[in-house]
Structure 1
């Protein structure tokens, strides 16, 4: 679908009716994904003490946010979280660790958990978000039975230096490219509402189109006390919806997955996110709470869509 850049900018800036655009995005989404909504959930497998300085993140070690800090959860704890997801009808489940990348010892534990989970819950698709891994580490995850690897670019390259100074955007891109190189499914997106301009939303969408990940996770900033963005207020429900519409127009056949910050930013318009998006992260996020599964199940069904949630 071709839309002039000027119109897209006006849509993001609220100068074009987002509700009309939502119905166009809905048609496009349903062309490729029908009425099925895929769900995913995560476990914060290792929390806090991250040496990076992403301005939105509660887990950066230099910010006083009160976020939990703990080492990698035990195998028993991780398998229990995976079991809960499987029995709830969630389609995908991801192990997420804080930091630039896990230690060799932690990675070995994670590989063992993935192998055991694949045997016990063969229908559940396992994902991981472990930071900037190399080829051999990613291959080991694939061989263990990992379905998909997640690694966000976070935002447009031109805006990234305003958000993070201790990790290189290009290295993030290289990690994402490695995932595709070894044949793992790639989940790669970012977070919106950081203060980026409409042109930078477009820049980011163009980057994702070129990268062509299988899934684009879309987070919206939920300001956390103690972070540099604790007083940010760049988003409205309609602007958040406009971002989703733009991403659907740029990536018509890719999974668009609404993740953290949807409850905080979309408020009473939350159900409308499933017009452009075909997937939801459900349950709790890394350091903030989500909704209960029954509430999301009802929302999906009220829209006339289906999920595997039980």
Structure 2
């Protein structure tokens, strides 16, 4: 579908239409010489809803390794031989100190992440008490929790504590799921996002691209997240860690990563599209262009891999003419 008018498709998206699977595939197959046209059309959508603002997110790995799940991408899984640091759930004061670091670099969203299938009661209580303290000091900070598969009463406790957002990524398509993990189902992940939403917590769910999936799988991921109505969509690009089952997988190019980000913007026009793990090693010198379709990034380190220095991220935003979005969750100037 060479020569597709991406600008016209963007206008249709802004009028409330969904793109077709054929148009979605054309975005992923966009000829490299037309990539700037695609980015321009994506920015037309992104700027309509978010202007020139970029949300900053910071993550804290409150429990590392010790996970019984067999996710092929994860250095913390039971099947991983990666030499990572392993430790049990942090203390409350350590989690609160992480929020202070996030506030010091203008990260509006603080993500509390723990490895494992799901939280046990002791772990949940530590997070609940930490969130209460964080919210007492930083009322406008968006607190996101990512603790694995939830039970209904756990989702309720997190909401009562002040958790604004819950992340549980679908990671890949339903069709490709069993090629990545068999220790839980795709439906387990969807159900957890639904539980959080039912508890009144903003749902966050995203993907990891580059795990030997097809382009049709990528389209299915974007469409599934649209159906789930996820408010925030982290788009990770596989950073294959030595010692994991996906060790040595290098399928991505910076140009394809940009096309993926554009696809997610076209298919989820009103949502926060966050460039997440693997940004630095996959987008490389094209990182700034990712902000034309995306409106959110992580700063600092990820779970078991290092990120770009926050000063370099802020310089990138300044050079591109973007502003840091400090609006608290629920007060965004967002047309839905």
The TM-score bracket by the shorter chain reads over 0.9
Q: Where does residue 238 of structure 1 map in the other structure?
A: 255
Output the CA distance in 1 between the equivalents of 2:42 and 2:203.
23
Counterpart contact for 2:19–2:267, Cα < 8 Å: no
Matches within 5 A, 1:169-184: 169-184=186-201
Q: 1:1-310 counterparts in 2 under 5 A?
A: 1=13, 3-15=19-31, 17-307=34-324
CA displacement 1:233-262 (0-9 Å, x = unmatched):
111001111110001000111110111000
State the Cα deviation string for residues 184-232 of structure 1 (Å, max 9, x = none).
1111111101111111111111111111111001100001000111111
CA displacement, residues 26-54 of structure 1 (integer Å, 9 cap, x when unaligned) = 01000001111011111000000211111
Give 5+ residue unaligned stretches, structure 1: none
Q: Distance in 2 between matches of 1:181 and 1:72?
A: 27
Local SS of the residue matching 2:136: helix
Aligned to 2:6: none
TM-score by structure 2 length? 0.89
Task: Point out 4+ residue stretches in structure 1 off by more than 2 angstroms.
Answer: 1-8, 13-19
Instruction: State the SS of the aligned residue for 1:161.
Output: helix
CA apart distance, 1:103: 1.1
Paired with 2:158 and 2:20, the residues of 1 have a C-alpha distance of 41
Alpha-carbon contact 2:169-2:189 (below 8 Å) kept: yes
8 A contact 2:110–2:143 mirrored in 1: yes
Gaps of 5+ in 2: 1-12, 327-336
In 2, Cα distance between equivalents of 1:297 and 1:256: 18
Comparing 73-82 and 13-22, the one that deviates more: 13-22
Paired residues of 1:256 and 1:279 also in contact (CA < 8 A): yes
- Aligned residue pairs total 309
In the TM superposition, what whole-angstrom CA distance separates every residue of 1:254-283 from its partner, at most 9, and x where no partner exists? 110111000000000000110000111111
- State the shift of 1:8 in Å: 2.7
**How far, CA to CA, are the matches of 1:4 and 1:44 in structure 2?**
38
Question: What RMSD over aligned residues (CA atoms) do the two structures have, in Å?
Answer: 1.3
Once residues 6 and 104 of structure 1 are traced to their aligned partners in structure 2, the CA distance between those partners, rounded to angstroms, is: 47
1:63 is paired with a residue whose SS is: coil
